[in-house]
Amino acid sequence: MKIIETSLPGVLIVEPAVFRDPRGYFMETWRQSRYAEADIAAVFVQDNVSYSMKNALRGLHFQNPHPQAKLIQALDGEIFDVAVDIRQGSPTFGKWAGVRLSSGHPRQLYIPEGFAHGFVVLSDTALVAYKCSDYYDPRSETAIAWNDPDIGIEWPVSNPVLSAKDAAAPRLGATAAPLPHYRA
């Protein structure tokens, strides 16, 4: 397993060992002991799967309280996955990191608690799986604008397909939702 750091401390690209043969490939997508050795010590309690069409953008979402660390991978298709640091007092507050995840090049993105998360589908469809370190809580979930100019995410699409909730999400600086606090 290979770990690649991103521009945001704690947000990691994970490249599991992939064993290929004429039938296809096999890979281990989660082994708690191996990930803990790579400083990914989250205890995951919920698995989610999302199926989306081309140009569908989901995000930027977060929960507070009940923050969620996430381990994301594209099971089929390709996405551009993004993490935004929304921890008050963080030296990287409002900064983002993005990575392409695809079934053709299997890897994962680990996003710790305190970050907003979103992705856009680049292929015709995408099947995305992600582990969460806390349960979904609709009372603590909120969204921030995918196109917040203060964040400046360089999305690879210009006119994404959005849910009504995501289309109406406020900018990070205007959100009424309580933001998590940075702990050094």
Domain CATH code at residue 145: 2.60.120.10
Which amino acid type is present at position 47? D
pLDDT for 43 equals 96
pLDDT for 184 equals 81
* Residue whose C-alpha is closest to residue 79's, from 112, 117, 115: 117
Residue 184 domain-assigned (yes or no): no
Domain hosting residue 161, numbered range:
2-172
Q: Which of the residues 130, 135, 181, 182 is marked catalytic?
A: 130
| Sheet order of strands, 115-121 included | 96-102, 78-85, 115-121, 57-63, 141-143
pLDDT for 113 equals 97
Residue 168 domain-assigned (yes or no): yes
| Distance of alpha carbon 99 from alpha carbon 153, whole angstroms | 12
Contacts of 44 (CB under 8 A, 6+ apart): 30, 69, 71, 131, 132, 133
* 25 assigned to active site: no
Residue 87, class by beta-carbon neighbours within 10 Å (0-12 exposed, 13-18 middle, 19+ buried)? buried
Contacts of 138 (CB under 8 A, 6+ apart): none
Residue 166 domain-assigned (yes or no): yes
* 61 assigned to active site: yes
pLDDT for 107 equals 97
Number of domains in the chain: 1
Tens digits of pLDDT across the chain (184 residues): 999 999 999 999 999 999 999 999 999 999 999 999 999 999 999 999 999 999 999 999 999 999 999 999 999 999 999 999 999 999 999 999 999 999 999 999 999 999 999 999 999 999 999 999 999 999 999 999 999 999 999 999 999 999 999 999 999 999 999 999 998 8
Q: Which of the residues 35, 61, 110, 117 is marked catalytic?
A: 61
Residue 72 domain-assigned (yes or no): yes
* Residue 58, both tokens: 């989901």
pLDDT for 169 equals 98
